[in-house]
């Protein structure tokens, strides 16, 4: 089997590797099939609830995209009548999170799981982007980025408006504010600080008078 670096070099010679980004939802993973391992970058609930088998989890950062509550949630963190907000990646800046290493033998089932979880009902597109791991390695990683053309795309909302939505919403996975609280907690545990999320959390606290997580994760 090729080493990771050899597989990456081979993939980067392909048209998709050269353009570097998005795959349509219908495309079954065709790149890079020869990798000895795969990586997934999580910047929201994947950080504390990945839901798939992995061999390693390490703090990481991605350049060229930033995290924000830019996607309406009608199921996990809200309802059709009272949608919540979940995180997405938009161009510009950088984003910290957790990268998960997945064995090659497990990748097909993990990819299927991630697509069912992240892509079927939400305003995301999948991408393979370089992620810097805390130990200095760089790995091409599966990541979902916001799709501005999707009907559930909320865009960059003002902090008070986003806080009002998050404060009131609750879905199948629990309170929308728990999603925000747990994201901030995970980042802090890994030594990261996301200033806009901290500002949003303070605004939710101001509007609700509390910061403790409620039900669900």
Among residues 37, 56, 61, 118, which one is catalytic?
Answer: 118
Pull the structure tokens for residue 113. 């799981």
Distance of CA 126 to the CA centre of its chain: 10
8 A C-beta contact, residue 123 and residue 90: no
Does 118 qualify as catalytic in the annotation? yes
Report the candidate in 11, 77, 89, 2 with the shortest Cα–Cα distance to residue 37. 2
Side-chain half-sphere exposure of 209, counting CA atoms within 13 A: 0
Side-chain half-sphere exposure of 90, counting CA atoms within 13 A: 15
Residues paired with residue 131 on neighbouring β-strands, in sequence order: 62, 139
| Residues that are catalytic | 118
């Amino acid at each position: 089997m090729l080493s990771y670096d050899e597989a990456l070099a081979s993939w980067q010679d392909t048209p998709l590797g050269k353009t570097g980004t998005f795959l349509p939802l219908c495309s079954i993973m065709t790149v890079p099939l020869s990798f000895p391992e795969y990586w997934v970058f999580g910047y929201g609930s994947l950080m504390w609830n990945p839901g798939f088998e992995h061999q390693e989890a390490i703090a990481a950062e991605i350049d060229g995209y930033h995290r924000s509550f830019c996607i309406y949630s009608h199921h996990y963190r809200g309802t059709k009548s009272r949608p919540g907000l979940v995180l997405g990646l938009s161009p510009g800046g950088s984003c910290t999170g957790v990268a998960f290493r997945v064995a090659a033998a497990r990748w097909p089932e993990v990819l299927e799981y991630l697509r069912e979880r992240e892509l079927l009902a939400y305003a995301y597109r999948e991408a393979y982007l370089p992620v810097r791991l805390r130990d200095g390695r760089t790995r091409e990683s599966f990541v979902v980025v916001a799709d501005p053309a999707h009907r559930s795309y909320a865009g960059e909302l003002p902090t008070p408006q986003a806080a009002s939505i998050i404060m009131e919403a609750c879905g199948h996975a629990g309170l929308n504010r728990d999603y925000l609280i747990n994201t901030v907690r995970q980042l802090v545990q890994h030594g990261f600080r996301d200033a806009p999320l901290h500002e949003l959390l303070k605004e939710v606290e101001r509007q609700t008078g509390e910061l403790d997580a409620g039900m669900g994760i």
